[in-house]
Structure 1
Amino acid sequence: MPRWLRTLLSSRTGLFGAVVVLLIVVVALVSAFWTPFDPMLSDIRGRWAEPGWPHLLGTDGTGRDILSLVMAGARTTLFVAAGAGVVATVVGVALAALGALTARWIRETVAVLVDILIAFPVLMIAMMISAVWGGSLWVVAVSVGIGFGVSIARVTRPELRRVQQSDFVLAGRASGLTTWQNLVRHLLPNVAPVFIVQLSWSMAVAVLAEAGLSYLGFGATLTEASWGTLLADLQRYIGVHPLTVVWPGLAITITVLGLNLLGDALREATDPTLSRNGAAERLTLAGEGSVVA
């Protein structure tokens, strides 16, 4: 087992985040082939059923099984989070590389462009794009990915500039490595901890963005299960059936918390500086304990 994975799993927060993300992935994959009931099947005679058998989480106002809707919503959430993560990675790395490794006029142009784009909130960008192209999960994933790709570029760019002045990067350049080879071999691995935190945060906010946009009608369509859409449908009856709103809200909360905790734990596990500091601190504490003893 790699050292970073052992470090990740030895952390309580890292283990919790990994378990939550793995659980969401498994539920999303299972829901693609099986759910207890058809998520879109309405049964007026079984509307507002209490949690029990066969509807373990109850039903909504049209008789749809809430457990099936939550499971199918996990598939939607995973698609948006993964899609936004891929888009944010491509946009962030491209802008950061252009803003750190190119000619001065290109670097300054990219820096100004990033400062302009970052002034617009991600949800506003997503709503504007959805208003033009229509609400869909693809639009949400791409718009959220672009918005957070700009944020990733702004944070990663100065880190690339700092690492670029390191001796091993200069040695690689002197040995004949191209800018692209230096970027892949030396620069990106050394900025990975900062990048991982930003990426996990962007994926966590993508989950919230999808739920919020679907809640407002700009995200998932009526034929697609979504935690945000389910919240929008159930919140009107929260005074009569409050328990039904708990399940999609709890799913969103746990997913966002798991992604954030996993990102923090990955940063600590992959950052050699933090590992050395942690080891030094443990040795210091152990020495103090032995002296006291």
Structure 2
Amino acid sequence: MLVVAVIVVTAGVALVWTPFDPISVDVSARWLPPGWPHLLGTDASGRDILSLLMAGTRTTVFVAVGSGIIATVIGIALAALGALTARWLRESVAVLVDILIAFPVLIIATMIAAVWGRSLWVVIWAVGIGFGVSIARVTRPELRRVLHADFVLAARASGLTPAQTLWRHLLPNVAPVFIVQLSWAMAVAVLAEAGLSYLGFGASVTEPSWGLLLSDLQKYIGVHPLSVIWPGLAITVTVLGLNLLGDGLREATDPTLSRGRRRGHGGERAHVPGVVA
């Protein structure tokens, strides 16, 4: 949570302030080493690397959140159709999901970018659709399992509509699985944006991006290797933070894991042969 919070706060600050203009070119300040006032140095165009990283954080958060929202809507809709509707519709949705999941997210994004041009929205929609299908495939069996539980059958017998049953009883019980998939989708969105921008299919040249910065700096890796570390480190830490956050939220929301922790802390000590308690 701390890592993700730092990323989000940095993106918010970068909306109103960065140490220097991230797109301002100053040839006289090319390749300045880390120090004051350029804490991480400058690049081949004299741009402040710290300012570029801060501005790129805005792009990263925008892509991650946008992809997460689209994946959530598509995933819940397909999972609900595949679990709560008539048999012929459930089977049709299952076939559709199996077909769509066969296409890797990055290939989908590359094909869309080849037709519509480079744009962050290409990355957002490609990752959102790709992982929305993945979320639906993982969540649908869980919904079907919970659907036959006694408390769900009682809720349906009391007159709740399928939508009310889904919202009140089904989704809360599949939340742990859903959260992990969603955090993974957001982490992959960060990697996809960086990778596609690096290849020239993601962010445009006027939009600060960690992938674009990495692409610009790697050309000079033999002369200024330290400069390449910063965007790569930012991408790695962000993806790691999102994955760890998803695992932590799963442990916090999964009742079985919570009971296991309580038993481990407050229950009887396990007896291990040869060890004196």
TM-score under structure 2 length normalisation: 0.97
TM-superposed deviation, 1:286: 3.0
What SS is found at the alignment partner of 2:139?
A: helix
- Superposed CA deviations along residues 154-195 of structure 1, whole A, max 9, x for unmatched, are 000000000000011000001000000000000000000000
Does 2:258 correspond to 1:269? no
Which of 83, 107, 115 does residue 124 from structure 1 map onto?
Answer: 107
Where does residue 49 of structure 1 map in the other structure? Answer: 32
RMSD across aligned positions (CA): 1.3
Does 2:212 correspond to 1:229? yes
Report 1:161-180 matches (<5 A). Answer: 161-180=144-163
Where does residue 60 of structure 2 map in the other structure? Answer: 77
Where does residue 228 of structure 2 map in the other structure? Answer: 245
Where does residue 169 of structure 2 map in the other structure? Answer: 186
Where does residue 147 of structure 1 map in the other structure? Answer: 130
Where does residue 195 of structure 1 map in the other structure? Answer: 178
Where does residue 112 of structure 1 map in the other structure? Answer: 95
d(CA) in 2 for partners of 1:54 and 1:90? 45
- Superposed CA deviations along residues 125-182 of structure 1, whole A, max 9, x for unmatched, are 0111111111111121111110010000000000000000001100000100000000
Paired amino acid for 1:41: S
Larger helix share, 1 or 2: 1
| Identical amino acids, percent of aligned pairs | 75
d(CA) in 2 for partners of 1:36 and 1:283? 51
What SS is found at the alignment partner of 2:50?
A: helix
Where does residue 137 of structure 1 map in the other structure? Answer: 120
TM-superposed deviation, 1:283: 3.9
Where does residue 20 of structure 1 map in the other structure? Answer: 3
Flag the 1:220–1:175 CA change in 2: closer, same or farther, 3 A.
same
d(CA) in 1 for partners of 2:112 and 2:84? 31
Equivalent residue pairs, number: 275
Which of 195, 198, 209 does residue 215 from structure 1 map onto?
Answer: 198
d(CA) in 1 for partners of 2:148 and 2:261? 26
Relative contact order, CA 8 A, sep 6+: which one is greater? 1
